[in-house]
Structure 1
Amino acid sequence: MERTSPYQGLGARAYWRTGYAETDYPPADIYRAKWALSKDDKIVTAGSCFAQHVGRALRKNGFNVQDGEPAPSHIPADDLTTYGYGMYSARYGNIYTTRQLRQLLDEAWGDAPAFDAIWQKDGRFYDALRPNIEPNGFASEADVRTARAEHLAKVRAVFTAADVFIFTLGLTEAWFHKPSGQVYPTAPGTIAGKFDDKIHGFVNFRLAEVRADLVAALTRLKALNPNLRVLLTVSPVPLTATASDAHVLAATTYSKSVLRACTGELYADFPEVDYFPSYEIVTSSKAGAAFFEPNLRSVTEAGVARVMAVITAAHLGGAPATEDAPASMTKAERQEKRANREERKERRRAGKGA
């Protein structure tokens, strides 16, 4: 039959009805890996909080996810993530923006600007670029500088040896040091330090800025390892709060849209860059609120497992192991999950009595 439209004869995944509305969920064909991921590949992970799930699921399925900054033996398993260990391939904590990633790599290779890198609280000292890795801070500024130098050495080592870099983009909003342009992972005064509007500013990065920062970061990494492959994802976790003056829902939509547009452009422009649709799987109309906890922000264990099953199956060629709740979950995370479960039970009991 002669084609009268360019939409005739496309595969089922190209049509809303056959590719989404009438399929199981997530659709079996939602992700086609651009390149193969081997269990021998040295995988480095970084990004926003959702990135932890990707690394954990791959490690559980036998992939070679790097841990270049392992925890000392005296820290209990329950406290590992509280101190920033076991979350990513180095102890950098959450990297929410592409500017933060770019500046971390710049600093690791000797191009860091001078800025107020050390914050104080209650007589203790904190690394402003990873303020939550030591919940009680350091004893002195010298201790902060020593720990950071050791950390940057680990960053250089793990990225230099990487075969695959998996990065989850989380936010477009950030707070920064006005004199130097250095961005922070959290606003000054939130964990430590003190906010001063004379030296601290707010920025909501635009698409061109997000893209430029990510391209610059990947260019640096590719110079170290020309064969490096990159897998990008976008976190489905909404903003906790926004400083943009928009409603938090609109601000979240803006942020995620910019990040998704950036990853789409890099996927199209660079053969070594792949994109995995974790954001789409969790936030689609078919998933609804089912993949979120009652706060409509935290992704449920079932939602995470569903997403991770798609990525691991694509690279394993079969049914992967599901992701259980992490053994290294903090006490606070366990308490939050228990509270969420009790809240759901109370709602069900209230519904039955109505």
Structure 2
Amino acid sequence: MPENPYRGLPSHHFWRQSVAAIPPFAIDPLVRFPFELAQDHKVAAAGSCFAQHISQALQRHGFNYFMTEPPPAGMSREAAQADNYGVYSARYGNIYTARQLRQLIERAFGEFSPDLPEWRDRSGHFVDPFRPQIQPSGFASTDAMRSAREAHLGQVRRLVEELDVLVFTLGLTEGWVHIADGAVIPLAPGVAGGTFDESVYKFVNFSTAEIVQDLCASIDLIRKVNPNARFIFTVSPVPLIATYRDQHVLVSNTYSKASLRVAAEEISLARPGVAYFPSYEIITSPATSRNYYLDDLRSVSLLGVDHVMRVFFAHCVAGSKKTAASPPALPSELREEIRNVGQIVCDEEAIVKL
């Protein structure tokens, strides 16, 4: 028996050997991953804005990125981007909280029918409160909005029934709820439509236990119709753009990310076919964070995205020849990524544009 239980453990157990003594671009915090993605797997993505980096990388590398709501035939790339086609696997926009994900699946399968009415924007057009920025010009009528919603939910059903792997990026614990029916919305009323009324809407800050409960419910709902579905959870390294709690945004951000990270850990340990991928750790590590955020200390830099994706392909993709410890990619190899990173859609930014 060793005199010290830590003696002889592999180097990844120790900060000095696996973080402090490693070149920042070569840090690889993923020791093992429970399954691999094959190129023919239908991989769907959802969550906060950081999830778009993974979906874009999968598409660029020829993987079967599963979309049930692609752009209409003949629509230009610019027009598709403006109307939020191809941003995620279905046209649901940013899904910031675990409760949003759960309720989206419940609505798609008729298990939750909220009474939340449509909103109006500043131009008088109709807005879907569950995806308030999905149609930048709004809808001409209530019927048009509801018809588009029903078509969308049908494609969400198809997505759930056919996907092989869902990559979901957890973004926030803070959110807004329609008091009458408990429906969670991605943006506060008044930000991108609707009018705030404290008798109609309330602020919530989900606990770790509630997040775990909602993620478990989402997994169970999906596996009810798709028993072989697998899941990859990540935590977005993008900080809160604002907090509604009466405290410093830095403190709120720390709570939010800590709660989401703990929930992802508990789920990945408790459920088979569920994995956690450490994009959050790669970006926020003391060794890398000074280079992996832009001047706003919120947007992730190209070097950071490249590092995350090198680790992802090294561990999570079958037959990948990429190595997580390779040097940063040359600028010529990042031209397409540079163009795509500038097109990340983040509904939360509407909060500070008012």
**Shift in Å, 1:116:** 2.2
SS at match of 1:243: coil
Partners of 1:328 and 1:266 in 2: CA distance: 30
Amino acid at match of 1:249: L
| 1:274-293 equivalences in 2 (<5 Å) | 274-293=275-294
Is the Cα contact below 8 Å between 2:231 and 2:275 reproduced in 1?
Answer: yes
CA separation of 1:8 and 1:108: change in aligned 2, threshold 3 A: same
Partners of 1:331 and 1:220 in 2: CA distance: 29
**Shift in Å, 1:312:** 1.3
Partners of 1:331 and 1:236 in 2: CA distance: 14
Please list the CA deviations of residues 11-62 of structure 1 after superposition, one character each: whole Å capped at 9, or x if unmatched: 1101111111111334245342211111111111100000000111122122
Partner of 2:266: 265
Is it true that 1:126 corresponds to 2:127 in the alignment?
Answer: yes
Partner of 2:17: 18
SS at match of 2:115: coil
Is the Cα contact below 8 Å between 2:29 and 2:278 reproduced in 1?
Answer: no
| 1:120-269 equivalences in 2 (<5 Å) | 120-121=120-121, 122-269=123-270
The one of 327, 332, 338 equivalent to 1:325 is 338
Partner of 1:339: none
Partners of 1:332 and 1:239 in 2: CA distance: 15
Is the Cα contact below 8 Å between 2:125 and 2:141 reproduced in 1?
Answer: yes
**Shift in Å, 1:245:** 1.1
Is the Cα contact below 8 Å between 2:239 and 2:298 reproduced in 1?
Answer: yes
Partners of 1:285 and 1:266 in 2: CA distance: 26
Partners of 1:180 and 1:5 in 2: CA distance: 56
Is it true that 1:67 corresponds to 2:80 in the alignment?
Answer: no
Structure 1 range deviating more: 235-244 or 306-315? 306-315
SS at match of 1:168: strand
| 1:39-54 equivalences in 2 (<5 Å) | 39-54=39-54
**Shift in Å, 1:72:** 1.5
**Shift in Å, 1:79:** 3.3
Partner of 2:80: 80
Is the Cα contact below 8 Å between 1:82 and 1:330 reproduced in 2?
Answer: no
Is the Cα contact below 8 Å between 2:119 and 2:128 reproduced in 1?
Answer: yes
Is the Cα contact below 8 Å between 1:79 and 1:331 reproduced in 2?
Answer: no
RMSD: 2.0
Partner of 2:94: 94
Partners of 2:29 and 2:118 in 1: CA distance: 48
TM-score, normalised with respect to structure 2:
0.90
Is the Cα contact below 8 Å between 2:175 and 2:188 reproduced in 1?
Answer: yes
CA separation of 1:301 and 1:317: change in aligned 2, threshold 3 A: same
Is the Cα contact below 8 Å between 1:52 and 1:87 reproduced in 2?
Answer: yes
CA separation of 1:263 and 1:328: change in aligned 2, threshold 3 A: closer
SS at match of 1:223: helix
Is it true that 1:296 corresponds to 2:307 in the alignment?
Answer: no
Partners of 1:246 and 1:32 in 2: CA distance: 38
CA separation of 1:44 and 1:117: change in aligned 2, threshold 3 A: farther
5+ long unaligned stretches in structure 2:
324-332, 350-354
Please list the CA deviations of residues 119-138 of structure 1 after superposition, one character each: whole Å capped at 9, or x if unmatched: 00222001100010111100
Partners of 1:270 and 1:258 in 2: CA distance: 18
Partners of 1:158 and 1:30 in 2: CA distance: 28
Is the Cα contact below 8 Å between 1:189 and 1:195 reproduced in 2?
Answer: yes
CA separation of 1:28 and 1:209: change in aligned 2, threshold 3 A: closer
Partners of 1:328 and 1:291 in 2: CA distance: 13
SS at match of 1:203: strand
Is the Cα contact below 8 Å between 1:113 and 1:182 reproduced in 2?
Answer: no
CA separation of 1:152 and 1:331: change in aligned 2, threshold 3 A: closer
**Shift in Å, 1:288:** 2.6
CA separation of 1:168 and 1:220: change in aligned 2, threshold 3 A: same
Amino acid at match of 1:104: L
SS at match of 2:218: helix
Partners of 1:247 and 1:29 in 2: CA distance: 30
Partner of 1:342: none
Partners of 1:167 and 1:107 in 2: CA distance: 18
Is the Cα contact below 8 Å between 2:208 and 2:259 reproduced in 1?
Answer: yes
Percent identity between the two aligned chains: 43
Partner of 1:341: none
SS at match of 1:3: coil
Is the Cα contact below 8 Å between 1:31 and 1:276 reproduced in 2?
Answer: no
5+ long unaligned stretches in structure 1:
337-354
Amino acid at match of 2:4: S
Is it true that 1:56 corresponds to 2:59 in the alignment?
Answer: no
